[in-house]
Chain A
Amino acid sequence: MTKQVQQLDRVIIRFAGDSGDGMQLTGDRFTQETAAFGNDLSTLPNFPAEIRAPAGTLPGVSSFQLHFADHDILTPGDAPNVLVAMNPAALKANLGDLPRGADLIVNTDEFTKRNLAKVGYASNPVEDESLSEYRVHALPLTSMTVKALEDFDISKKDAERAKNMFALGLLSWLYHRPTEGTLAFLEKKFAKKPEIMKANIAAFQAGWSFGETTEAFSVQYEIKPADHEPGLYRNITGNTALAYGLVAAGQLSGLPIYLGSYPITPASDILHELSRHKRFGVRTFQAEDEIAAVGAALGASFGGSLGVTTTSGPGLALKSETIGLAVATELPLVVVDVQRAGPSTGMPTKTEQADLLQAMHGRNGEAPVPVIAPRSPADCFDAALEAGRIAVKYRTPVILLSDGYLANGSEPWKIPDVAALPRIEPDFAPADQEDFQPFQRDPETLARPWAIPGTPGLEHRIGGLEKADGSGNISYDPANHDRMVRLRQAKVDGIARDIEPLAVDDPSGEARVLVLGWGGTYGAISAAVRRVRRSGQRVAQAHLRHLNPFPANIEQVLRSYDRVVVPEINLGQLALLLRGRFLVDVIGYNRVRGLPFKAEELAGVIQDVIDSE
């Protein structure tokens, strides 16, 4: 039958199910189809820390949200237009986010008395009136899948497990997605299990055909490709982009990358990714603990590699003494902190921005470290490259503050032209110098020579003890210590001359309110600013990539506006730094729910500040 086709400019879909239902895979496949189709997109996976929480319970719910559009979008979307709920727990956990009139696809097979009771439903919401404000599509997805696969020589369990592919097929039909990518993916994934492969493909196709023939869906939707600038694109998560940025830093500097890492959520994927790129001269070392991980990285840097360590907040705490040693010995080191909700173990799979002050100050003594934060998943590539550049040029540890949202979220990425990427000069100290001084600084950068073992004539000793300016010999001289403390600080401060000034987006030039953010909140803040501007208001926006040192013009920017709003997913850490440094009375907006900001809430916050002018 011919169905009506309706044009939409954007859609937000959330797939939700039990953590064993394959929702991340389903979401990921739908994302790839959407990327290949040419929509702009942004994703938000949300999953429990437990590998398999008890089936059918609220803690076991895993979801994947995808926002895609025919225009440039910035966030995974505030509220889904479509929720696919594979079981009662998924419905209950996600219903609160669903706006009235949204489409709700539920797998009725899982709405058994037992499963309903598990999550506290007294009666079946699909059958009573409680879902009346939504467009409910009650479908027996599991039994339809099993029926579609009855001719296959597979177990009932395996047939049931293919229900996510049935759902994917249905959604792919509903939104006109290209299917070649998913078919190729299934062929590769199950290459060693041909019967399972065929069954999954059949389930996917059955879902598609069901959409075409059923009367449950009368409308099919079309979202035109977005108007991206010309180029070659791929979809990329923050962790993959960050890993690629590190590989690129190695290639562009000619330095071998040495990753010392200890598995920790949500940073482990960077270790996994880099361990696959040995042919780029990337060494990966899974250490016995976080301290050994950063220690090995620093040892490798001493030997002339670019040492890198990847972790999350609790691991950064453990590494702090070694980062201090890197400050004292003035060796290059990239420390990646994929922030997650804290304190302590906190909520490992949930995002937060609360490690900023730890990155800035979490070491004994005066131990300044450059801090850089990417703003979007794809931006993790550029941020990692920048971290490598600064670490090598200034012989310093650099902390790169990603977060759980950026790490797992994805967006289309215009693949850069490798030839146009900037080179990094390691500039090793040349051999056989008379009276070599390991702490004699470059007058411009204040960086010390990087004299690596194996270089004749430059044998020297370094360590955590205070060193005499120039010679690097142990020194307890009071004046020397004061000078060295100031020199190390001046070196980091001086990087401000070598970074982009803070760019302000103020189209009218007449805004009185500035919104200043940093890191992973860029998308939500930008979307909020757009909303406010659409309503005819003026607001300026700026976003910090460099947190230490701040860009040279930051004070001037702050003083150019009557009010400065600083939204952060912490209790006001950047705000504290700005107030302390510049005596500017910034207005914080702080929520720490383990989730990214919603554009709508930030728009409201900005509007309130404008109204109070």
Chain B
Amino acid sequence: MLNIIKSGFFTTVQDTGRFGFRDKGVPVAGAMDSYTVSKLNSLLENVEDCAVLEITMTGPKLEFELDTYIVTGGAEMSVTLNDLAIENYKVYKVKSGDVLSYGKLIKGFRAYLGIKDGFRTASVLGSRSFYKPITEQDCIKKMSGLPYTECKMFGPKISKLKVDSILNKGQLEVYKGPEYELLTDKQLAQIFYKEFSVANENNRMAYQFNETIEGNTFSMLTSATLPGTIQLTPAGKLIILMKDGQTTGGYPRILQLSDMAISILSQNKSGDLIHFKLK
């Protein structure tokens, strides 16, 4: 078990996501910054759907009961292992009784903790990704534990990785969405020649912005939406659906983020500036 001494602001277990149930309204879920998570699992030589911890804004304090290997990545936070600072994207051996403690957020928004062979919380409908009510919990709770398997010997092929940072990046690559053609020249100019600041309404379901553009009165029948779909509301709000976003929607889907842009956006927080670039 990994004992949770402190939970942090919003810490969840995530893997690559829950597929095959979108026709029943079940969101994909999975790590918001999948770019970072794939790097962590590669370093640990894990299979790609091994579950990691997704740590939002402020981090937890954790105690290991079993020996294993870990690696951290994503947002930069001051992280210590038994009071010694550790670096991102470097494999560390941890022993029973070791304590991993997250401090201040320095850069980015979501940090990840990978562990050899992944966390072993319950798999529901093919995924361990937290999403209430599919999973019992919506985030980890103090004084509980997360199961993992012991690993005493592991010689990583690469023990440290230099990663192209996606932190502090504001450019989001987008494709035309199914209703892109509805946009007027004025709306296009407002979208592509303006910066947007991330609103307080930003979470695993959706990101919104403080700025609006000209609204859209087009009425369409409810149809599928995807992680990364940008909807335009009649009031001119842009809503970017993220990994826990609903599977259908009734607003025009004007743009679609690339996979990388979803990872980049998930490292942005309230007030950060972003702009769109058509791919």
The answer on A and B forming one complex is no
